[in-house]
Each structure stands twice: as structure tokens, then as C-alpha cells.
Structure 1
Amino acid sequence: MTITPTQMTAISSQLAVDLSSQSTDRLIELCLLHRAAPDALPSFVVALETEIQRRFTSAEIASNDVMFSVLQNFLNQFASPVPYFQLKMIQMAATVNRDIWFQNNADLFATSINDVDVMTWLITQPDILDKCLNNSFGLTMLAQSTTASTAILTHDPAVTLWKQATNLWSIWPNHTAGMTVLAKSSELMSYVAASSTAMTAVIASSTAMTAVIASSTAMTAVAASSTAMTAVAASSTAMIAVAASSTALSKIVVSTPARNALMTNNAILQSVRQQIRSTITTNWVMQRSVSGVMDVNTPASAVNPSVANPPGFVLASLGFFAGASNGKTEAAHPNGIIAATGGTSPSPNNLSQFDVISFNGVIFTARSNHGAVYAQLWSPN
């Protein structure tokens, strides 16, 4: 039941008395009154602490330890944010319009959920937690707190409620704290990667993509998922972010779903080839550097086997034999999709003309007159 303004005024008047003039029994009664209406006079807690320190000398504690214990326990409870937060959460749960409650109590809620003890209590209150998660203001503040996000995402019953939150994927991906905690969990990232709804939201958020790409755990889960990688590979924005991350690329080159997704979206893959080249040539190891020429419709026998392994990216210049200016060379991804066809360089022996990027296992074939190719294979180690 809500305490009326008149009642609050009366309670405040009772609590505002000089505590040094009150009996110990009366102090206990005033503590109960404060616990019933902590908003009536918040300064009562400070006054109570001062009085306990004044009244209970060493000698007084020795002769009256029970009363000291009772009052000190009250003070400990009042000093902890948990009891007050409990009271406010009960009020929130009972209110008709929770949007108004969360806006009016935003500072209190945001501050409280950064306390480990508060969150330890909240995650064990499914009815109240569910109401917080299913309110856009409440969910936003939880996603903005590392303490709150960690508590929720490491507690199985709370995770179940979190997954069912109505606006989860329109809110959570936009907040660094929540996404950073999420990206640490292989299990939860596998759940996210398997959901087209979740992955669409993650890809649409630079905040979420930054957190995912920076995490080896998260990228392992994403790279292993056809659903996730299909979404990533189809997005130019996401692929630009991926192309700049050695961590992300290292997970992709060893994952069949990830490689297939990028090869299927070849236009986007080729559009970020310069960014990928910059990333891997800075962080990875060049395993092969090889060139070769071939007759029309003949695979590059000197090149293809050399770039078949280990797992990595192949960077290539497609050209023609110097004595056959009409030569054309085709690069086919390991899955058979054509990556590029070109013939701009005579007998290339470097990447000054960088025509195509693919994966180990790429097949180079002459498609007109005498073709030529220069290729490098780069792997994470």
C-alpha cells in the first residue's frame, strides 16, 4: 500500500527528533518506522549512526550488547542499498505505468544496479526482474551496466528471462557494457549467431560489431554459424569492420560456414579486399609467393598446389603471358564460385595490380590465349 503525503509528513516528524534524548527501546521503534518509510527522512540513517557511536562506548557494549547488536543490525541494513532497492522494486512492480516509474527513478535504478549485492538480489526475483527486462527504460539501464549485465548473463534463470525480453534486440546491441559481457560467452554467442533476428540487430549496430569482433570467443561462435555469417557477409558495413580485424579474419579462414558465406557474397568480399590485405599483411605470415603461366583452359599447375594449404587468404594479380597480350586468367573460389577474371598485367610477379582475394584452395585457370598469375598465401601463423 502506498504511503500518503500526510503519513510521510507525520513519519518524518517522528524521525526528526533528537536521538540522544530517546531511550534505546524508542530507537528501535524509530528504526522500524524508518524501515517502513525510508523516503520520509533519509538523514535519519546518518543521525542513527552518530547516536550509536556516541551511546555505545566499549563499556556500554559490554553491559548491553544485545541492544547494540539490534541497533547496529538496523544501521547495517539501512546503509546497504539492497533493502531500499527492494522496497522501490516492489513499488515499481505494483505501478500501473512503469515507463513513468523508470523515468522518475532513473538515477536510483542506474546507481543501484551497479551494486553487486543489489544485482545478486534482483536476479533471484524472477517476477521483478522480468518487469525490468520488459520495460524499455529498465532494459536500457541494465544493458548500460557491466555489473548488471554480468549478473544477468551468468545466472541461468535470469538468462532465460533475458532471452524472452520483448525489445531485447532493439536495445541490447546498442550498449557497450552489455555487448562486451555477452561477447565473452561462447554459449550465448552461439545462441545469438543462430538467430537471424539477433544477428541482424548486431550487424546493424557498430557498438555490437565492435564488441563481437574484438572477442575471439564471440567471433569463433559467429564464424561457426551459417546463419550469422550469411548475415555478416551480406552486409558491406559489417564486412568493413570484419576486414579491419585480424581476430575476426583468423576465425573466418578456418571455418567452412564462414568461408562459404564470404565466397557466396563475392562482390562484397572483393569490395573489401584492400582492407583485408592491409590487415593480414600487417598481422599474419606469408606462407607462399608464387607465379606461373598456363595455356588456355589450363589450370595453373605451378601455382594452384602451392596455395592449397595452410588455411588462409590468397591475394593475386591476374594477367597474361608477356608474349600473348590477349590472355585472360580466371580465379575460382574453392567452392567453385568465380571470384574474378582479369588480364591487366603481363606475367605479374608482384601485387602492384591486386585483382582478387580468395582462400587457400583457389583455382587459377587460363581462359583466353596464355594466362598468367602471381599469388600470395597468408595465414594467421
Structure 2
Amino acid sequence: MRLHSHSFLEKSNVPTNIGDHQVKVQVKSCALSPVDFKLYEDLKLEKEHVPVGREIAGVVLQVGPKVTFFQPDDEVVGILPLEAERSGLCSVVVTDEYNLVQKPEKVSWFEAAAVIKDGLRAYTALHTLARMAAGQTVLVLDGAGPFGVLAIQLAHYHGVKVLATALSPEDQKFLEELRPSVGGVSLPSARVIRVWDSKEDLVDSCLEETGGLGVDIIIDSGVRLYDEEPEAQRHCPHKHDLLTLLSVGGHWVTTEQHLQLDPPDSHILFLKAASLSFLNDEVWTTSRAKQGRYLHILKDVMDKLCTGTFRPQLEDPVPLYEATVSMEMVQRKQTRKRIAVKL
């Protein structure tokens, strides 16, 4: 399998006939996220080219005979499914109406495409999996990453106390200045834990902040499974630390798909009556069971972007000729902000 990022050159093969529930969209912007090749193998979606830039924003050109959500000239945003024939880096794509929602007028193409996936992840982690409630405490690891920023803003909006880790002095400064506002009122920013500073201990800081009770929700961005880890993972917390700082009845949402819990780890979860969930945001489009809820989340992400609850951290829009180089950087995780391409 290879990345399918050169398909914007293939303007000639735009499909002319569209299905009953399909929509033809002229793409204005698409965002670049890393591609999980292992997921394609697991889902038996082996194909020569894997589509990139699946988060798209654009204008509806044409609708199928049974489409009820949209009409031509509507501005839309959405996520192309994993098995999409074409990458989002095309001038025109055809997709089911159920993959799209209306884009608010005030939101730019670029922002809509760049936020849709991280917004969906934040929702999936905090609402669907952790069932957050006002008054709880959440720990967002790597709070200055594109996903972390939106998770912090969503938690603040719902009255949840936020602790966030900073991987560098720059991240710390950024997070301390990230003042959330709800209904025009500026709230105190997240309590920042400096994991870049060897003198500051994650477990001690979290227990101190919560009066020794631990945090109700943890959202990680990678976990160390062993004591001996490569340098790239030195800022990742050890799984045992996360289990230690989880509260009774707490909920750990992990992005670590290879997480292994040994019997003593499971015993800690048992003693705390705590639970663990795996965050796989692709499950919404690979399983149609919760279609209505999925579209509701996408709509709400756009509303929160429109009203300023979500204030994402984005790179400047990238022109099309830089898309391949940018995608390679994204795939190697060499960029800290979300990148979107302007078509």
C-alpha cells in the first residue's frame, strides 16, 4: 500500500454518474493526518493506493436523486471514509451524503477541514468514551498538540477542571496563555505540568492538584509500556504512572493501540473500579451503527468552531504543490500543528 497523494493530477477521471445518496463536492481545502496502514490491513482494505487528506471542506456541485441533506452550492465539511476511491487532494470528490455536514458561513474552508477530525476525536474521547461531567478533573497529556488543544477547550466548556502536560517550555507558555472563554467570560487556563522538567513529577503533581484523590479522566497521546524505551518516547508517561494517578471510578482513554496490561495493572484497575477505553475515531465511519450520533458530533464541532469555543492551533494553509512534502512530514510526525492544503 502506498499513500495516494498525487491524485490531484488526475482531474480527467472525475466520475460523471453519481449514486442515489451521493454528493459531488468541489474541494476547497483538505487536512493532512497520518495514515494508519495497520488499520487498513486489519480491516482487509488492502489496496494499492491509500487516500490522504480525507478531511475535506468544499462546495456541493451536484446531488444524487435521493439526497435530502444537501443541494447544489451548499458549503459542506466532512471526512471521507477509509475505503474512499479518491484522496481529498482532488479538485472534485464524490461521497455519500452521510459523510458530510453543513459548514457554517463564518468558518473558513481551511479551519473547517483542519478541525473536523481532531474535534471528532476530542468528542469521542470525552463524551462517548469517558462520559465527562461538570466538576470532574481531566488530565490531557501533550495538551499543546492539535488534539490536546481541542480536548482542553471542550473539557473547559463543560465545566471540567483541566490538567495538561507540556513537553517543552514553548508548550508551557502556549498552554498558560490558552485562556478558555465560556459565554464571553474568561476562565483560568489549564494547570500545566512541566514534563520537560525532570524536577516535576507527573504523579505527584496530579495527586497534589486533586487532594490525593487522583484524576477522573486521563486522555493520553502515547504511553510507555516498558522502563527501557527509545528516546522518542521519553516524554510519554509510563502506564504504571497513569494507573497510579487515576481516581476511584476513573476512566483512562488511550490512543496506544498496543497497550498491554499485566495482571498487576488489571488488579489496580479492579481495586479502583476504574475502566480503560481505546480511542479509535475511525470506528464512526467503519461502522454505521451510530450514524445519527456521528453527524450530530460533526455538526457540533462546527458550531463550536463557529462560536469560538474551539480555537485550534493551525499551520498556515499549504499550497497544493507542497502537499506531498507536507504529507511526508505529517506521516513521520514531524509537525506539531495540523496542516491543511488550500485547493
TM-score range, shorter chain: under 0.3
In the superposition, the TM-score normalised over structure 1's length comes to: 0.22
Name the one with the larger helix percent.
Answer: 1
**Highest Rg: 1 or 2?**
1
Structure with the bigger RCO (C-alpha within 8 Å, sep 6+) is 2
